[in-house]
Structure 1
């Protein structure tokens, strides 16, 4: 399934933000959450915003503004950022992915959406583990379906790492076996 055009335009802008941060000697923001799920699922799973992590939120927000993002005001608006050409918002949700529980050496750089630019994204194993943790918490029962969808779409997963991450995010009563049909 091809990615929806709105997501690709948003990710191209994210790649430009990543490169601007890198040019300043700052860490790249990392894509997590629903947009990562949409990317890894080829838009089979869809989102309404891009969740980012960054230890330098103020500097990241400066780069968002330079690329035309605005913080909307008024009733019904979230705390995130919007770009007038996008149908997706951007929100900084944490300083680091998963409070540092993931293996940073597994982060991926995705290129090809903007000239000479790439964006950082968590690996699909961390994303699945996050979905399982949200499912087990009882606050998001639909996350089990998302985790299983991503698991099915990526047969080349590192199952050892995935097992470890699920057990960390979802408790010792859950693991890879919960994803299999």
Structure 2
């Protein structure tokens, strides 16, 4: 009988704690950062896709784009889960290239509203900026089909005026 009452009290404690978790907020933040990250990285990969003619040429540009995602995942497991309110966790969740992973990991630990809003605004701003950059590269990259592309050529394409 004593074991049964201990198990019931643990179940009751668990149910009481589950009621305190803001599931709607977590779901909204997850969807927002998933879509924001998808659009941000989609714009970056679209810029690469418009600048190169083959998969082999695109490989040199894919790693620098993928690296911030890897940093975000590593930061989630090595930094955020240990110290969700520390300075490194803060910066990982604010920088637009790492925030789609980092902020989703931090939200369950209770992030101040101003940090969440700042991160969202910077992610939207990052998406707008990367879309603008991708558009400038696309405009020239499509016309320069067959040209061997490197970072110097991409920078030159970006600087070309209408």
TM superposition score normalised by structure 1 = 0.25
RCO (CA 8 Å, sep 6+): is it higher in 1 or 2? Answer: 2
**Which structure has the bigger radius of gyration?**
2
Query: Which has the larger helix fraction?
Result: 2
